[in-house]
Chains A and B, each alone.
Chain A
């Protein structure tokens, strides 16, 4: 699994959330040293727990070994102090999806690392070019967009901004190809890049048709899984992504494009408002709380076997 590399050997990752933890794992598994910047000790602890849980799953599934798990954890070093990023060869920004938050942390990081160190963003819905403006050296800035969960999903979008140098694009493609089982796809800096520009309208369409009673959530998923061979049906996929995460992304793309296909369907908004966020809240389109734990009244006749 481990491939040793001399290129971009020491990577700084900003944010140890859902994506940051996955990206740190993938980079460390390629033999690189990873320094992660988080806001405070509590978030570092939460992020490391996520990283460990992900590695545990990989060990359980035979995707990695105990020894490799230990090596990965050893190569990921977490800090809440900016100066610790000074020696890195590459920065991967994966903090919360908020332009102001990203701008603030990118400004400080750009002033800390060497002026020729590439800085890439994992943003899903913001413009790479827009994030680059105002940074010293926008030509060293690009998008490097992983999918959730980062260790499992093969595609990584490499997104040049208007000023990104071709050399950096090449180096990022080579970086992705040095990661176990990943494929680099170079895409334009358009809202949603490539995959999300296709996926989000499709998911919205499914939610609207569900609300329009085309079929049950389960039957829609089963039809697309059996009919088209999809590994996951769209509604289970939304539960996995997080309904709030999808709502935020599609709202941002709608604002950026005024394309009605991105307009969040009413049912999606309602589910999020009701706290039904999918797997993480234990209640979504396909995930439901067990009847015993349900705050909603459930008649004994409605209970189906778990």
Chain B
């Protein structure tokens, strides 16, 4: 696997690999930034031409902003852009050393893609899945070689968040996991190793936490303002639970919580009734201008 002799910001001593990113949405485009920034030959793949173009534009926009903000030199940004191509033809992924899957959260779709790739890429190619709530084992079962499939769960926004949760499926080989961790660390990511259990680490604790805060609000233990303020001032969280839910989006919280609940059948994961009411009302958070709080603009991460 990749053994660069410098950090992800240096040009020299790289060992560029061919990395395919499947799905050019929020996460796929973010992961493509991570790969192209490290000057891996990056192929962004999507079935939808318009989504692919939007994803490529997102990646280019990210590099332009990085240069404006002095986070990246112009030559490095140009090199990063040059190392990225897009395609809607799966056959173009044949030379991939690593495949990172970030398509819709749909088990059948993810399995099918891995199965189709089996016939195209070498047997040594690593298959990474960015699933949040599906089982790595289930997705791996779509491949003839489940030992090469590893769960690599990035955080949104992938270019800025250092954490990647790494989870083996039942049949993941230790070489695949070790190579995956080496690769992720060469990208400047911090890896933690967890199990193929619903929610891995972050969502496993975040979802019941957010639900318990919503229940506290429902039961009159405090107001959204007082609960946010109390948590902020007592626990060292960067923002209160309702500010965070407004950024995540109530629809996304509902989806993730429900999927975890379906697997765990533990009531702590079940989204409290207020969630369904807010989704029904269209109060999804910042992206719709109103969630727990009202917003004048719908930008997600400020300017």
Contacts and interface: CB of A to CB of B under 8 A. Distances in A.
B163 interface: yes
B213 interface: yes
A229 B163 contact: no
Contacts of B192: 215, 219-220, 222-223
Nearest to B215: A198
A224 B208 CA distance: 14
A263 interface: no
Contacts of B238: 228-231
Interface stretch (A18-26, A150-158, A271-279): A150-158
Contacts of A198: 209, 212-213, 216, 231
A240 B168 CA distance: 32
Interface in B165-201: 165, 190, 192-195, 197, 200-201
B282 interface: no
A175 interface: no
Interface string A244-264: 000000000000000001000
A73 interface: no
B259 to A, nearest CB: 18
Given A194-B216, A197-B221, A232-B236, A155 B230 contact: yes
Given A198-B213, A215-B201, A183 B229 contact: yes
A201 interface: yes
Contacts of B202: 223-224, 227-228
A199 B235 contact: yes
Interface string A200-228: 01100110010001111001101110111
Contacts of A157: 230
A155 B233 contact: yes
Contact of A194 (B206, B221, B268): B221
Nearest to B244: A228
A190 interface: yes
A157 B229 CA distance: 11
A226 B222 contact: no
B78 interface: no
User: Which size class do A's interface residues fall under?
Assistant: 35 or more
A187 B222 contact: yes
Nearest to B197: A214
Contact of B201 (A154, A188, A213, A224): A224
A186 interface: yes
B205 interface: yes
A141 interface: no
A183 B232 CA distance: 10
B227 interface: yes
A185 interface: yes
Contact of A185 (B162, B208, B229, B268): B229
B244 to A, nearest CB: 8
B300 interface: no
Interface string A179-195: 00011011110100011
Contact of A227 (B161, B216, B221): B161
Given A188-B221, A229-B239, 20 more contacts: A147-B233, A147-B234, A153-B233, A153-B234, A183-B229, A183-B230, A185-B226, A185-B230, A186-B226, A188-B220, A190-B221, A197-B221, A198-B216, A199-B235, A202-B208, A226-B190, A227-B163, A227-B201, A228-B238, A230-B238
25 contacts: A153-B233, A157-B230, A187-B221, A188-B221, A194-B230, A197-B216, A198-B209, A202-B205, A205-B208, A206-B205, A215-B192, A220-B201, A222-B192, A223-B163, A223-B165, A223-B194, A223-B202, A224-B202, A226-B162, A227-B206, A228-B202, A228-B237, A230-B236, A230-B238, A232-B236
Interface of B: 155, 161-163, 165, 190, 192-195, 197, 200-202, 204-206, 208-209, 212-213, 216, 220-222, 226-227, 229-239, 268
- Report the 8 A-B pairs with minimum CB-CB distance, sorted nearest first: A231-B236, A154-B233, A155-B233, A229-B238, A219-B192, A226-B163, A155-B234, A227-B202
Interface of A: 147, 153-155, 157, 182-183, 185-188, 190, 194-195, 197-199, 201-202, 205-206, 209, 213-216, 219-220, 222-224, 226-232, 234, 261
